[in-house]
Amino acid sequence: MIPRFRRFKNDLRTGWATVRQGSAETVDQSLREFELLRLKFELYRVEDQIRDHLRAAGERAFQLIERKGGSVLEDQEIRGLFEKVDQLRQEEARVRFERDQIKEQ
């Protein structure tokens, strides 16, 4: 009777350990998926900002060409917009790198 009880006790402990391990793996996977989703939305936000800044720069360049007939590259507003675009592209690269790091895990 005692060997059966020990075997049952060991099987029960093994089963609970397996359940705990599976739960931990599931939580870890869900956290990774949540982080990937957050990064995806952050990437969408950055891409939208880049698109908006480039559109604004294009509109400003068009206005300058219509008015003055040139000197688009000397305009401070356009330079500022392109500097913001460069910063956003760096942020975009950072977000993509983080996303790739999470996917490799």
pTM of the predicted protein model: 0.72
Q: What is the pLDDT of residue 1?
A: 62
Q: What is the pLDDT of residue 31?
A: 92
Tell me if 21 sits within 8 A of 42, measured CB to CB. no
**What is the mean pLDDT, run by run of 10 residues, along the chain of 105 residues?**
80 87 91 93 95 92 78 82 94 94 86
Q: Which helix (H) or strand (E) holds 53?
A: helix 2-67
Residue 25, Cβ neighbours under 10 Å: how many? 10
